[in-house]
Chains A and B, each alone.
Chain A
Amino acid sequence: MNKKYFWFASLLIIFSLVLAACGGQVETPTEEVVEAPPEPTEVVVEEEPEVEEEPELVELVVWADELRAPIINDLGNQFANEYGVSLTIQEMGFGDIRDQLAVAGPAGEGPDILIGAHDWLGQLVSNGLVSPLDFGEKESEFLDAAITAFVYEGQLYGLPYATENIAFFCNKDLVDTAPTTWDEVTALAVDLEAASDGEVTAWIIQTIDPYHHFPLTNSFGGYVFGLTDEGYDPDDVGLDSSGAIAAGEWLQDMVEAGHLSADVDYDVLHTYFTTGKAACIGTGPWALSMIRDSGVNYFISPFPAGDTGAGRPFLGVQGFMVSAFSENQLLAQTVLDEIFATEEFMQAMYDVDPRPSAYLEVRDSTDDADIAAFAAAGATGYPMPAIPAMGSVWEAWGNATSLIITQQLDAADALADAATQVRTLIAE
C-alpha cells in the first residue's frame, strides 16, 4: 500500500518536472518578443544595414478579413520588413473580429493591429479594447469625414482605409434623369404605373431595414440622434421629430396610393430593380457586381430631396485600429503611419475590394465612375452613430417603418412608439 503511494508520488514529481521544463521552453520565445532584448550596439556604426544577416524581426499580429489579409500579408510585410517588423496575419470574418477581440484581448492573446468598422468604437472603447492614436499632419491626407468617424469622445482610434454608403440607382430604360425630389418620385410612380398597367413602379424600399430609410428621413429634417460638437447625443432621440414624421407621412402616402408594396427584403428589392419592375432603388457598393451582372441599364445619383434638402446616407468607415492590450503600441502605430498610410498600400486595399477609399489621393484618382458616384453620394453623409445606444434603435425603427408600410399604424403613431421604445431601452 505504501509502496503504491511512493511510486505514484515519485512519478508525479518526475512528470511535473518534465512538463515544467517543456513549459519553460515553450514560453521563452514569446517572452523574447515581448521584451525584445537589446540589439548588439556595435552594429550600426557604418550605414549599411545589409551587412547584418537577417536582423531579428519584431512580430506584430494583425487580424484581418479574408479579402484584405493577403494584401497585408504580401505588400504589408514587404514594407514592414524594411522596418525590421514582420506582420503575422490571422484571418477571420470581418464581423467576428469585434467579438473575438473582447475575448482574446483581455486574455493577452489578441492582435496588435485589427481592422474594423468605425461604428464598433462605442463598444470597443467602452470595453477598453482599443488605444487612442495620433497621426499628426498625416490625417490631412485622408477624407475629413473618415477621420472624424474614427474619433470617439474626442480621441482618434483608427486609420481609415475605405468608406461605404448607399446611393440612388435608377434604370435608364425607365427614367432618363433621376428624380431630384421625393415628389418627383411620386409623379414618376403615377406615370410608370399608368404606362405599364401597374407592372412597373418608380421606387421601392426594404420594409424593415431602416439603414436604407435614413436618407429619406433626413431629407425631411428627421434624425436619429442629435449631433453635437461632442458627437451623437443619446438623450436626443429624433425618430419622432417633425422631420422624421414628415418623411414617414410621405411614405404612408406612397403606400396608400398603391405605389409601394410591403414585404420587400434585400432580395426582393434587387430582383425588382434588375428585372425592370422598379425604376429606382437605394443600395450600396456590395450590390454593384450583382447589378452589373444583371445587365440592367443603371446609373447612380445622389438621393432625392425632401423639404430640407437632398437625402444624406449613413457613412460607414472601415479602418485599422490598435489593441489596447498590445505590448507594442508605438510600433503598431508606426506601422499604420509609415506603411499603411501610403498611396501604394491604400491603392492595393482599394483594388482588392473597390469601395471609395478614405485616402484622398486614391479616392480622387479612381477611374471607376460608379465608385466615384458612391463617393459623391457619400460626401455629405452622416457618420453612422457609434454610440452603444444605436443598438437600441434598429429594431424599434425597423418596426416603425414596417408598421407604416403594412398600413397597421399611422406614421406619426408608429414613429412616436419607436422613439418611446428607444428612450425606454436607453433609460433602462
Chain B
Amino acid sequence: MSTNNPTARERKLSLALLRKFFSSMALRILGLAVVDAFAIMLLYLLLRDGVWPIAAILVLTTLVVNVINFSDRLIPLRWMSPALAIIMLMVLYPILFTVYTAFTNYGDGHLLTKIQTIRRISQDTYLPEEGNVYHWVGYRSPEGDFLLWLIDEDGQAFLAQPDKSLEQVSPEDSQIGQLDNAGFPLNVEGYTRMELLDVIPILDSQLAPLEFGDPPLTIRIKSIREAAQLKPRFEYDDEQDLFIENITGTVYFADESQGQFTSSEGVSLNPGYQVEIGWRNFDRLFNSPALSGPFIQIFIWTIVFAFLSVFTTFALGLFLALVYNDPTFPFRKLIRAFLIMPYAIPGIIGILIWRGMLNPHFGVLTTNLVNIVGWTPGWFTHPIWSKVGVLIVNLWLGFPYMMLVCSGALQTIPSEIYEAATVDGAGVWQRFRKITLPLLFVNVGPLLISSFTMNFNNFAVIYAYNEGRPPIPGTITPAGYTDILISYTYRIAFESGRGSDYGYANAITIVIFLIVASITLVQYRAMGTWEEISENV
C-alpha cells in the first residue's frame, strides 16, 4: 500500500498537470500558432504586393499579441488583446495612412506606382507612316514554333517567322498547300494551321509578345485578324529614367517632385505616378485663393451653426423633458414615445421629408404659408432663410436625443434639494436656474460638447439639405451661404480642375481635425467649472 500510494499520487498529479496543460497552455499555443500562421501568410502576400505600411502594422500587432499571451505579468491584457489588435489594424492604421497620404500627391492622375506607370506608357503603339497593315493566319509546328502568313493591302503574301526577315511567297512554292478563299494556305509544310479556337487561348500570352520581320519596322499582331508594323510610341530608358517619343523624338524626364514624366516644354505624359511631396499639400491649402476668399465668413457660420444647433436642440429637449417629467401629465409616456420618432427615423430620410415640405412649389409648409400669410421665405434661395431652414431641420433631427439625455439626468437630481429650496422660499424660476441647470450640466455637459463637435463637421445635414447653397455671389471659388467648413473643403478637394485629389483632401482633414480638437479642448477646460459646482453640492 505504501509503495502503491506515491505512484497513484504521481499519476494523479501528472494527470492534473496534463489537464491543466491542455486546458490553458496547449490551447493558447495552438491558438497563437494559428493566428501567427495566418499573419505570416498575410505578411507574405503584403510584402509580395509591396504594401509595406500595412505589413509593418501587421507585424507590430502580431508581436504585441504574442508578447501579451506569453508573458504572465500581462494576463489582464490577454482578454483585451483581440480588441487591441483590431483597434490597431482598423483605427490606428487608417489614421497613419491618412497622415501619410497627406504628404503624397495621391489622387486623380497619380493613382499608380511608378512601375505601373512605366508599364502603362510602354504599352502605347503607333503605326508609322511607312508602316504596313496585314491580314494574318497563324501556323504552328509540333515543336511550338509559330509562323504567320501575311497578306498586305496590295494582296502580296509573305511568310513571317519570329525575329526573322519576311519572305515573299507565291502559292506555287512546293512546301505550301492549297489556298483557301481568302488566299491563305490550308497548311504549310511542317506546320499546322491554327483556327480561331487555337488562337484565342494564346493570343495575348504567346502571340502578342512576338515580333516578326526586320527591325526597326517589326510586325506585331494587332488583333485577331490584323497584324501591323506597329512601333512602341514611347521608349523607356532605364538608366537615365526617361521616355523618348518615337514619332517626334521628344524626351520626357521623370520629374520626381511632381510624379510625372515631363518634357522640357512642360508637357506631361499620362498617367503620372505617386510620390511623396512633403508639405506641399499644406502649402497649397494655406496659399489657396479659396482660403483668402469666403473662408472667414464660412468659419464664422460653422461656429454659429454648431452652437445654435446645440443650443436649440438642448433648449427644446430640456423643455420637453421638464414638461413630461411631471408625473401628473396625461398620456406622457405615449407622447414621449412619439417625440422620439425623429430620432428613430434615419436622418437622411428626415431631411428629404423636410426638403419636400419646404419645397417652394408644392411643399405642404410653403403652400399653406402662402395661403394663410400670403408669403413664404426662400428656404433654399435666400441667404438668411436658408440658414434658418437648415437649423430648423437640424433641430428636428436633434431634439429627441437631448430630450432623452435630459430626462435621464433629471432623475439623478435628488428631490430633497428642491424641497429645501421651496422651504427657503425659492420660486420655480429660481429653482430651475440655481438647482436644475447647474446639476444638469454636470451630467450632460460632455454630451453638449461632443454634440457641438459633431455638428461642427455635420456634412450630411448641410449637403442633403441644399448642398451648401444658395451661392455667395462674387467669391473666388464656388461657395454657398449654408456651407460649413467641411462641406466647403469638400468642394476645394473634389471640384478642382484636377479631379479628386486625395492627398490634398487628407491634408485638409488633418487641419480640420486640429481646429476641432483645439475648440474641444477649450470647451473641456471651461467644463472644469461645472465639475467644481458638483463637488460643492
Contacts and interface: CB of A to CB of B under 8 A. Distances in A.
Contacts of A128: 111-112, 116-117, 120-121, 270-271
A83 interface: yes
A56 B108 contact: no
A277 to B, nearest CB: 9
Contact of B361 (A4, A122, A261, A399): A261
A7 B29 contact: yes
B478 A153 contact: no
A268 B26 CA distance: 70
Contacts of A425: 477, 495-497
B39 to A, nearest CB: 10
A136 B41 contact: no
Interface in B456-480: 469-471, 473-478, 480
A338 interface: yes
Interface stretch (B163-171, B219-227, B505-513): B219-227
Interface stretch (A43-51, A161-169, A365-373): A43-51
A263 B381 contact: yes
A388 B361 CA distance: 35
B192 A41 contact: yes
Contacts of B202: 36, 38-39
Interface in B479-494: 480, 491, 494
B499 interface: yes
A331 B204 contact: yes
Interface string B252-295: 00000000000000000011100000000000100011100000
A12 B271 CA distance: 44
Contacts of B221: 330
Contacts of B111: 102, 106, 127-129
A342 interface: no
B86 interface: no
Contacts of A428: 284, 288-290, 496-497
Nearest to B468: A395
A38 B26 CA distance: 50
Interface in A220-250: 234
Nearest to A265: B359
Contacts of B121: 128
B109 A127 contact: yes
Contacts of A125: 270-271
B192 to A, nearest CB: 6
B104 to A, nearest CB: 15
Contacts of B30: 11
B327 interface: no
Given A12-B37, A330-B208, A47 B497 contact: no
A208 to B, nearest CB: 7
B499 A43 contact: no
Contact of B223 (A132, A155, A330, A388): A330
A327 B111 CA distance: 19
A392 B500 CA distance: 11
Nearest to B355: A265
Given A11-B29, A11-B33, A428-B496, A417 B474 contact: yes
The number of chain B residues touching the other chain, given as a range, is: 35 or more
Given A47-B195, A264-B361, A421 B475 contact: yes
A34 interface: yes
B203 A49 contact: no
Interface string A286-318: 000000000000000000000000000000000
B50 to A, nearest CB: 11
A393 B290 CA distance: 16
Interface in A86-124: 102, 106-107, 122-123
A67 interface: no
Interface in B177-209: 192-198, 200-208
A126 B120 contact: no
B438 interface: no
A35 interface: yes
A23 B476 CA distance: 56
Interface in B350-364: 359-362
Contacts of B474: 409, 413, 417
Interface string A412-428: 01100100110011111
A180 interface: no
Contacts of A337: 223-224
A36 B205 contact: yes
The number of chain A residues touching the other chain, given as a range, is: 35 or more
B33 A12 contact: yes
B285 to A, nearest CB: 11
A402 B144 CA distance: 68
A261 B360 CA distance: 10
A189 interface: no
B60 interface: no
Contacts of A175: none
B473 A84 contact: no
Contacts of B32: 8, 12
A124 B290 CA distance: 27
Interface string B306-326: 000000000000000000000
Contacts of B34: 15
Contact of B473 (A47, A207, A262, A409): A409
Contact of B197 (A84, A153, A207): A84
A38 B36 contact: no
A406 B112 CA distance: 45
B174 interface: no
A38 B192 contact: no
A338 B203 CA distance: 15
A327 B204 contact: yes
B41 A35 contact: no
B33 A330 contact: no
Contacts of A333: 223
Interface string A29-64: 000001110110111110101000001101000000
B201 A58 contact: yes
B381 A402 contact: yes
Contact of A392 (B222, B471, B496): B496
A391 B361 contact: no
Q: Max chain A CB contacts within 10 Å: which of B117, B204, B494?
A: B204
Interface in B65-120: 70, 108-109, 111-113, 116-117, 120
Q: Max chain B CB contacts within 10 Å: which of A127, A271, A328, A394?
A: A127
Q: Max chain A CB contacts within 10 Å: which of B34, B288, B494?
A: B34
B333 to A, nearest CB: 39
B123 interface: yes
Nearest to B230: A134
A8 B40 CA distance: 14
Contact of A331 (B49, B192, B203, B290): B203
A36 B469 CA distance: 56
Contacts of A44: 192-195, 197-198
Contact of A39 (B201, B270, B362): B201
Contacts of A391: 494-497, 499
B525 interface: no
A8 B117 CA distance: 44
Interface of A: 4, 7-8, 11-12, 14-16, 18-20, 23, 34-36, 38-39, 41-45, 47, 49, 55-56, 58, 83-85, 102, 106-107, 122-123, 125-129, 131-132, 134, 136, 153, 155, 207-208, 234, 261-264, 268, 271-272, 324, 327-331, 333-334, 337-338, 388-389, 391-392, 394-396, 399, 402-403, 406, 408-409, 413-414, 417, 420-421, 424-428
24 contacts: A8-B32, A14-B33, A16-B40, A19-B40, A23-B41, A38-B206, A39-B202, A44-B192, A44-B193, A44-B198, A58-B200, A84-B201, A106-B116, A125-B271, A126-B270, A262-B360, A328-B203, A328-B204, A388-B109, A399-B471, A403-B473, A408-B470, A421-B477, A428-B290
Given A102-B111, A207-B381, A337-B223, 8 more contacts: A12-B32, A34-B205, A44-B194, A56-B201, A58-B201, A128-B112, A128-B120, A132-B124
| For the complex of A and B, 3 pairs with smallest distance between CB atoms | A128-B271, A15-B37, A399-B471
